[in-house]
């Protein structure tokens, strides 16, 4: 590669500037060339925040590293921002709000549509960036880009369908109207497990409704968010409408909470942090939507189609190496099918291919970090100490780092940690049950209520159990239920509000009742 080319690539990364400002050794940038030159459009790779349409560093120059979990390699550094930058971003979003909200819905929809087109045009690059920072297999990452872009397409269309209402008035001289208006500036905080889709499912409805937004992606996976933001700018979404800050999560969150200009918080992440944000939002009485942890049951009844049940449970459990909030956490298997299911399931699980997500054929990437690995180990050790049997896997993978063997545990019981908490890793505990009633009781025996799954060939049973499950989402004979057109969200301590579908945009709208009085009863 020529010096000019290297220089251009480094500039695109912001690494030359960073190196000059912070005395980062340039060889770090050079080390990255191999990986980065595989991007078709190097311009997607940004390593600065986005405030008011300008790519920005932290005011004090602090940075944080972004590493590839599959190799440990330093990908780049990004600004370690905090309260100061968040306030700047809030100011930019507030400034952009009046003009953006006054545009026609059709106009906002057109820009979102362009963004959607660009996301799909660049899906291979976005997928590659995602695999590099998050670890999921490339095919799965590209699949997430398509899924994530779907929210942008959906809300490009829904923007035009935000209709108000006229209510028949009980008074002859008055008329009653309902307007729907954007809530204002939105603060969005997102996790690392879906670096794109968790952002688009918030940003797209917010922008469609006429809101402006500040997004704080997870510090582990900011690069996909920044690449998507670059494409939003290219689509013509005006400066300040979409802002990205990352760094000190607590400070950024606190700045969003303290601001009277931020009228709405939308969060996906752990239940613990969600509760803190809910409490924080009380100070300024912000609207809030929360998509928190789950503890998904998957009930396999005796009358299930074995092949469908194995396939569905495999997909619902091991997607993203078990690191999604809708991942199956507990597999409840009825007595009569238990042995047959366990045998077929273990066979399927042992065929999963673990490795670097950029390698062909890999279906299971690494866990996101050491803490995630320790949690998985702890859950398995706890289960085994209480009588569970390891049917396959059960230990760290020979690849080292944070790779863990896809695992199935037999004889799991409700006193085990894994029955109570999300394992967020590739471990499926099989719990035996006898009756439908017992299965429902076990399934609902948790403070969480996000997703649930049932496998049965009996339609009446499927419907009956779906009604009885205290969960926001139920898959019947299906392990993959997420789609932008359906309302995604939980009951109980799994959250508030819904994302996606025609309902998702309501979270970003205020209802305003307008009463028109003194109407003349007769024509003049």
Just list the catalytic residues. Answer: 291
Residue 269 is a binding residue for ligand ADP (CB under 6 A) = yes
Strand runs (DSSP E) across 101-220, as ranges?
Answer: 165-167, 175-182, 185-189, 212-216
DSSP string, 282-315: HTTT-EEEEE----EEEEE-TTS-HHHHHHHHHH
Distances (CA, A) of 354 to 73, 242, 357, 379: 18, 37, 8, 20
Residues 111-150 contacting ligand ADP, CB under 6 A: none
Looking at 135, 184, 187, 191, which residue binds ligand ADP (CB under 6 A)? Answer: 191
Minimum CB distance to ligand ADP smaller for 271 or for 501: 271
Looking at 141, 273, 309, 496, which residue binds ligand ADP (CB under 6 A)? Answer: 273
DSSP string, 9-72: HHHHHTHHHHHHHH---THHHHHHHHHHTTSS-GGG---SEEETTEEE--TT--EEEEE-TTT-
Looking at 114, 128, 201, 216, which residue binds ligand ADP (CB under 6 A)? Answer: 216
Minimum CB distance to ligand ADP smaller for 252 or for 430: 252
Looking at 32, 131, 134, 190, which residue binds ligand ADP (CB under 6 A)? Answer: 190
Q: Show the site string, 219-258: x = touches ligand ADP by CB under 6 A, - = not.
A: x-----------------------------xx--x-----
Residue 479 is a binding residue for ligand ADP (CB under 6 A) = no
- In the complex, minimum distance from the CB of residue 272 to ligand ADP, in angstroms, rounded to a whole number: 7
Cα 46 to Cα 229: distance, rounded to the nearest angstrom: 9
Count the site residues for ligand ADP by CB under 6 A. Answer: 14
Angle (deg, nearest 10), helices 3-13 and 15-22: 80
Residue 375 is a binding residue for ligand ADP (CB under 6 A) = no
In total, the chain counts a number of residues equal to: 524
Q: Do residues 452 and 475 make contact, with C-beta atoms less than 8 angstroms apart?
A: yes
Minimum CB distance to ligand ADP smaller for 20 or for 250: 250
Looking at 189, 211, 231, 409, which residue binds ligand ADP (CB under 6 A)? Answer: 189
- In the complex, minimum distance from the CB of residue 79 to ligand ADP, in angstroms, rounded to a whole number: 14
Minimum CB distance to ligand ADP smaller for 113 or for 276: 276
- In the complex, minimum distance from the CB of residue 341 to ligand ADP, in angstroms, rounded to a whole number: 30
Q: Do residues 127 and 141 make contact, with C-beta atoms less than 8 angstroms apart?
A: yes
| Angle value at C-alpha 93, between 91 and 98, nearest 5 degrees | 110
In sequence order, what are the residues at sequence separation of 6 or more whose Cβ sits closer than 8 angstroms to the Cβ of residue 122? Answer: 40, 41, 44, 227, 231
Cα 100 to Cα 105: distance, rounded to the nearest angstrom: 10
Minimum CB distance to ligand ADP smaller for 55 or for 424: 424
Minimum CB distance to ligand ADP smaller for 145 or for 256: 256
Cα 146 to Cα 158: distance, rounded to the nearest angstrom: 18
Residue 296 is a binding residue for ligand ADP (CB under 6 A) = no
- In the complex, minimum distance from the CB of residue 197 to ligand ADP, in angstroms, rounded to a whole number: 14
For the chain, helix (H) and strand (E) counts, in that order, are 17, 22
Cα 83 to Cα 251: distance, rounded to the nearest angstrom: 5
Question: Looking at 63-71, 186-194, 334-342, 443-451, which segment touches ligand ADP (CB under 6 A)?
Answer: 186-194
Minimum CB distance to ligand ADP smaller for 82 or for 504: 82
- In the complex, minimum distance from the CB of residue 219 to ligand ADP, in angstroms, rounded to a whole number: 6
Structure tokens at 421: 């908490």
Residue 259 is a binding residue for ligand ADP (CB under 6 A) = no
Residue 489 is a binding residue for ligand ADP (CB under 6 A) = no
| 201 half-sphere exposure, CB direction, 13 A CA radius | 35
> Residues in the site for ligand ADP, rule: CB under 6 A?
189-192, 216, 218-219, 249-250, 253, 269-270, 273, 276
């Amino acid at each position: 590669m020529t010096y000019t080319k290297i220089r251009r690539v480094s500039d695109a990364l912001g690494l030359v500037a960073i190196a000059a400002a912070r005395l980062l050794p340039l060889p770090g940038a050079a080390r990255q060339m191999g990986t980065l030159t595989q991007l078709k459009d190097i311009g997607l790779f940004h390593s600065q925040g986005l405030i008011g349409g300008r790519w920005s560093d932290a005011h004090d120059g602090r940075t944080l590293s972004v590493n590839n979990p599959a190799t440990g390699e330093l990908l780049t550094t990004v600004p370690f921002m905090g309260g100061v930058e968040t306030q700047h971003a809030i100011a930019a979003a507030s400034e952009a709000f009046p003009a953006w909200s006054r545009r026609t819905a059709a106009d906002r929809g057109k820009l979102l549509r362009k963004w959607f087109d660009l996301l799909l045009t660049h899906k291979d690059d976005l997928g590659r960036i995602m695999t590099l920072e998050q670890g999921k297999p490339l095919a799965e990452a590209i699949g997430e880009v398509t899924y994530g872009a779907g929210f942008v397409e959906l809300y490009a269309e829904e923007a035009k369908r935000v209709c108000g209402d006229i209510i028949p008035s009980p008074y002859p001289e008055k008329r009653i109207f309902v307007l729907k208006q954007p809530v204002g500036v939105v603060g969005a905080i997102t996790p690392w497990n879906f670096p794109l889709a968790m952002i688009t499912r918030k940003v797209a409805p917010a922008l469609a409704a006429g809101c402006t937004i500040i997004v704080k992606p997870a510090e582990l996976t900011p690069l996909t968010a920044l690449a998507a933001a670059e494409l939003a700018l290219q689509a013509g979404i005006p400066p300040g409408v979409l802002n990205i800050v990352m760094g000190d999560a607590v400070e950024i969150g606190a700045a969003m909470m303290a601001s009277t200009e931020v009228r709405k918080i939308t969060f996906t992440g752990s239940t613990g942090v969600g509760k803190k944000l809910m409490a924080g939002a009380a100070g300024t009485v912000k609207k809030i939507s929360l998509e928190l942890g789950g503890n998904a049951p998957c009930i396999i009844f005796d009358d299930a189609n074995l092949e469908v049940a194995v396939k569905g449970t495999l997909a619902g459990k091991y997607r993203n190496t078990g690191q999604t909030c809708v991942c199956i956490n507990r597999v409840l298997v009825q007595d009569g099918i238990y042995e047959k299911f366990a045998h077929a399931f273990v066979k399927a699980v042992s065929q999963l291919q673990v490795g670097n997500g950029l390698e062909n054929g890999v279906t299971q990437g690494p866990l996101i970090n050491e803490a995630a690995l320790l949690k998985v180990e702890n859950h398995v050790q706890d289960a085994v100490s209480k009588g569970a049997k390891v049917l396959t896997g059960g230990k760290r993978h020979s690849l080292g780092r944070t790779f863990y063997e896809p695992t199935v545990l037999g004889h799991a019981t409700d006193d085990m940690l894994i029955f109570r908490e999300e394992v967020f890793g590739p471990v499926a505990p099989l719990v035996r049950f006898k009756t439908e009633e017992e299965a429902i009781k076990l399934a609902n025996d948790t403070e969480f209520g996000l997703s649930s799954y049932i496998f049965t060939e009996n339609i009446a049973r499927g419907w009956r159990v779906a009604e009885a499950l205290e969960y926001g989402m139920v898959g019947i004979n299906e392990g993959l239920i997420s789609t932008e057109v359906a309302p995604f969200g939980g009951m109980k301590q799994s959250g508030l509000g819904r994302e996606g579908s025609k309902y998702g945009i309501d979270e970003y709208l205020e209802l305003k009742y307008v009463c028109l009085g003194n109407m003349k009863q007769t024509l003049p």
